[in-house]
Copies of this chain bind each other. A is one copy, B any other.
Amino acid sequence: MKSRAELAELLRSHGLKCTRSREAVLGYLESACQPADAERIYAELRAMGIAVNLSTVYRTLESLCGVGLAKKVVLENEGRALFEFCDSAHRHYLVCICCKKIIPITFCPLGEYEQQLEQRTGYEITGHKLDVYGYCPQCKKISRA
């Protein structure tokens, strides 16, 4: 949980003008425990008494992603894009298909696989996206009952 001054500094050091909306959105992402969509960020900020416009939330998220302060996460079967604070770590997601809870996973098992693929296909591989789906412990119980 960063202070307002820290957030402001983070914005400036990434070449972004520091505004109320940006500080608010960045602050929200930084303290959120899982990726959130624009509408949700918008709603939560309003609930906190911070009046931002939805267009501005979208624009701000785009700016933040542009300078590497946020990351866009697109999941299958999810109509809307999610966003999270970007600590620039490569990661994957374990998503509950029932309650939508998301656990970020930092271990990546695909280094060798990518090399093999490059050799076999002639592609120059620049990255990958891996999402794992299933039931979280809670939903597992419920679905059994």
Contacts and interface: CB of A to CB of B under 8 A. Distances in A.
Interface of A: 74, 76, 94, 96-97, 103, 105, 109-110, 112-114, 117-118, 121-137, 140
A144 to B, nearest CB: 10
A124 B135 contact: yes
Number of copies of this chain that the complex holds:
2
Nearest to A132: B128
Contacts of A121: 94, 103
B126 A133 contact: yes
11 contacts: A94-B117, A94-B121, A94-B123, A94-B125, A109-B113, A124-B134, A125-B133, A126-B133, A126-B135, A127-B133, A127-B134
Given A76-B74, A109-B110, A110-B109, A97 B117 contact: no
Contact of A124 (B105, B122, B140): B140
Given A105-B117, A132-B114, A132-B117, A96 B123 contact: yes
Given A109-B113, A123-B94, A130 B129 contact: yes
A94 B124 CA distance: 10
Contacts of A131: 128-129
B122 A137 contact: yes
Given A74-B74, A127-B134, 4 more contacts: A94-B121, A97-B126, A124-B135, A126-B134
